Structure 1
Amino acid sequence: MTTDARGVARVMMNRPAVFNAFNEAMIGELDAAFAALAEDASVRVIVLCGAGKSFSAGADIQWMKRASEATQAWNLEDARRFAGMLDRIARCPKPTVARVHGLALGGGVGLTLACDIAIASGRATFAVSEARLGILPSVIGPYVINAVGPRQARRLALTAGRIDAREALQLGLVQQVVGEGDGPGTEGADGAEATALDLAVDACVSDLLASGPQAQAEIKTLFAQLAAGPITEQVRELTAQTIARVRMGAEAKEGFAAFFDKRPAGWVPQGD
């Protein structure tokens, strides 16, 4: 985990020998990293990425084997830790970006969807793969449904088949794809495509740094309380109360002043 001068933190999953498959230790490390970064006032944006050829191949098979041989109580606590880690990422008050390359399978899809923004290499491959092991995508299920809708989520989970980055983009698993790729089954990215992916992530980060950090935290808090559907009286009141409060804050005053003065706002890093 590193943070640069702009306040951009980079959290790298570092188990390349197993394609960054996660176990109890990695779950704990990710949870602790995002908890610390959420409280660090110097951090503006968090990028989640994977070392080696892949983003994350999901659950470590040895971890799953231990789970199958453990008690129900052990399994429940273990699943709660995984669910808590994904929730920690999803509720982080800072903008989060997933840099996805190679494989994103099972829980790797969950990590992708827990982030606010996901940018993928054209060579990336995705699968909600749990059923192939005789289990189900339970903890990541709500994230998949929220991203692609119930019907497509059922298809992905029931077939457990791999899809390429372009289909992932069409479905809403990611918001941007960089490079053409070679379709499902390829892993990693060549140097040019990896560079293009980094440039796309950096461009997204620059856009994020141009917005007010408190405004972004308010967006994440408010949007987490809203759902697609009727705009009820309660929803209207929540949104009115929120904007009335935020408009009176110091960050809003600085933002308007910077606009009228035709200068960068105080939160924009110099050089961006």
Structure 2
Amino acid sequence: MANDTVLWSVDKRGVATVTLNRPQVNNAYDGDLIAGLHAAMDALGREASLRIVVLKGNGRHFQAGADLAWISGVATQSPRENEAVSRLTAEAIRRLDTCPVPTLALIQGGCFGGGTGIAAACDVVVASEDAIFSISETRWGLMAGIILPQLCQAMGLRQVRRYALTGERFGAHDARRLGLVHEVCPTGGLEEAGNRIVEAALMNAPAATTATKLRSLAAARAFVDDGELRDLIDEHARTRQQDEAREGLASFREKRKPAWYPSG
């Protein structure tokens, strides 16, 4: 099954493949892609034979974060409309995080902003050697609030305090050292590496696997409850409409340094 921005299918083994499909903008997310992710998860939730979900990005890059041209348009809408956009985004991440079957992200090229949140929300992450990561929201006057719980679980607070506050880029081997990535494979080797992990997961009992995943989240206090989710959504939506976001997005459009960069 497919829509324009997200493709999904399930093979006879119960292995689902979900592919982000906006390669012309490096799979940057917009409203359609978020809706496509929800539609994919709705459809896969009806698959009784589902055993594992493999998440990919079509083209050269896995996922380049938010489509900043789209974000600029969203920011001009009402606070209620901004909150609705943030809620759909946050709920997509939470659904991926708590998906009852194992999830595997295969990452090539750029994985920025929200892409790092998608990676952190998956159970297993394999990156090719050409992968580049960045928690980049603050560069544009935005903030990564709705993915910070998952990033802190994956990387640890100490590392998030560096990379979310500097926006620095880091490569696949650093991402593995930091805990965001489990395995690095040669460029072009994602399918082979992914198949090996899928085969390992298929050897395990389905109900026991689901119970183990959900109990692990509970034991680590890693569930985002409704109250915390409301706070994350509210802050995420409000930040998008503040002066720093307007200036950051303008600097992106105009290909210049933002006003807060020291001029001296």
The TM-score, its normalising length taken from structure 2, stands at: 0.79
After superposition, the CA RMSD in angstroms is 1.1
Higher normalized contact order (CA 8 Å, seq sep 6+, divided by chain length)? 2
Residues in 1 aligned to 2:75 and 2:161: alpha-carbon distance in whole angstroms: 24
The answer to whether residue 2 in structure 2 is matched with residue 9 in structure 1 is no
> How do residues 225-236 of structure 1 correspond to structure 2 at under 5 angstroms?
225-227=218-220
- From 55, 61, 75, give the equivalent of 2:68: 61
- From 164, 167, 170, give the equivalent of 2:171: 164
The answer to whether residue 17 in structure 2 is matched with residue 38 in structure 1 is no
SS of alignment partner, residue 158 of structure 1: helix
Residues in 2 aligned to 1:161 and 1:169: alpha-carbon distance in whole angstroms: 16
Instruction: Render the CA deviation track for 1:23-68: whole Å, top value 9, x for unaligned.
Output: 1111111012123213311221110000000100011112210122
- From 212, 216, 223, give the equivalent of 1:223: 216
The answer to whether residue 142 in structure 2 is matched with residue 149 in structure 1 is no
Please list every run of 5 or more consecutive structure 1 residues that lacks an aligned counterpart in the other structure: 180-192, 229-272
Residues in 2 aligned to 1:39 and 1:218: alpha-carbon distance in whole angstroms: 19
Runs of 4+ in 1 over 2 A off after TM superposition: none
Residue in structure 1 matched with residue 255 of structure 2 by the alignment: none
Residues in 1 aligned to 2:42 and 2:119: alpha-carbon distance in whole angstroms: 18
Residues in 2 aligned to 1:82 and 1:108: alpha-carbon distance in whole angstroms: 12
Q: Looking at CA atoms only, which structure, 1 or 2, has the larger radius of gyration?
A: 1
Residue in structure 1 matched with residue 26 of structure 2 by the alignment: 19
Paired AA for residue 168 in structure 2: G
SS of alignment partner, residue 139 of structure 1: helix
The answer to whether residue 205 in structure 2 is matched with residue 198 in structure 1 is no
Deviates more, 1:39-48 or 1:156-165: 39-48
Residue in structure 2 matched with residue 213 of structure 1 by the alignment: 206
Quote the sequence identity (%). 39
The answer to whether residue 28 in structure 2 is matched with residue 28 in structure 1 is no
Residues in 2 aligned to 1:154 and 1:70: alpha-carbon distance in whole angstroms: 31
SS of alignment partner, residue 62 of structure 2: coil
Residues in 2 aligned to 1:161 and 1:95: alpha-carbon distance in whole angstroms: 30
Say if 1:35 and 1:88, in contact at 8 Å, map to a contact too: no
SS of alignment partner, residue 118 of structure 1: strand
Count the aligned residue pairs.
Answer: 214
Instruction: Render the CA deviation track for 1:80-134: whole Å, top value 9, x for unaligned.
Output: 1100001111111111100100010000111111111110001100000001101
Residue in structure 1 matched with residue 137 of structure 2 by the alignment: 130
Say if 1:38 and 1:94, in contact at 8 Å, map to a contact too: no
Residue in structure 2 matched with residue 258 of structure 1 by the alignment: none
Please list every run of 5 or more consecutive structure 2 residues that lacks an aligned counterpart in the other structure: 1-7, 222-264
Residues in 2 aligned to 1:225 and 1:32: alpha-carbon distance in whole angstroms: 26
- From 93, 112, 116, give the equivalent of 2:119: 112
Residues in 2 aligned to 1:4 and 1:119: alpha-carbon distance in whole angstroms: 21
- From 81, 100, 108, give the equivalent of 2:107: 100
Residue in structure 1 matched with residue 240 of structure 2 by the alignment: none
- From 165, 178, 186, give the equivalent of 2:185: 178
Residues in 2 aligned to 1:20 and 1:160: alpha-carbon distance in whole angstroms: 19
